[in-house]
């Protein structure tokens, strides 16, 4: 499983692939210089837990760059509500 990160300065995504198969995608847009909004998460049902793996990458990115996350995506919002250990990056 490989998770790649793409960012063009306005928006970006984290994409998980296994060989030629896309396992999942999490998209975001920037909200200023220090926050980004997770807009959408989609996971291939053949890859259990892929949404959380993508969110873990987003959280690691936010921590590394000292950023905050606004979870508009229902999945991301639900995970921030459930997991106290990632709320340090919650805007």
Domain count, the chain: 1
pLDDT tens, residue by residue, 52-80: 999 999 999 999 999 999 999 999 999 99
pTM, two decimal places: 0.96
**Residue 47 is encoded by which pair of tokens?**
């890859």
Position 83 scores a pLDDT of 97
Q: Say what the pLDDT of residue 11 is.
A: 98
Range of the domain at 23: 2-89
* 46: CB partners within 8 A, 6+ apart: 21, 23
Name the band, by pLDDT with cuts 50, 70 and 90, for residue 90: very high
- Per-position DSSP letters for 45-87, written without gaps between them: TTSTTHHHHHHHHHHHHHHHHT-EEEE-SHHHHHHHHH-GGGG
pLDDT attached to residue 19: 94
Which CATH number covers residue 33? Answer: 3.40.630.30
What pLDDT, in 10s, does the model give residues 15-63?
999 999 999 999 999 999 999 999 999 999 999 999 999 999 999 999 9
Q: Which residues, in sequence order, are bridge partners of residue 89?
A: none
- pLDDT of res. 56: 98
């Amino acid at each position: 499983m490989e998770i790649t990160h793409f960012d063009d300065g306005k928006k970006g995504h984290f994409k998980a692939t296994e060989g030629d198969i896309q396992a999942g995608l999490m998209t975001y847009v920037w909200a200023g210089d220090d926050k980004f909004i997770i807009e959408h998460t989609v996971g291939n049902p053949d890859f259990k837990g892929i949404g959380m793996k993508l969110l873990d990458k987003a959280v690691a990115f936010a921590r590394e760059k000292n950023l905050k996350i606004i979870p508009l995506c229902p999945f991301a919002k639900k995970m921030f509500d459930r997991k106290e250990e990632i709320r340090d990056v919650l805007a």
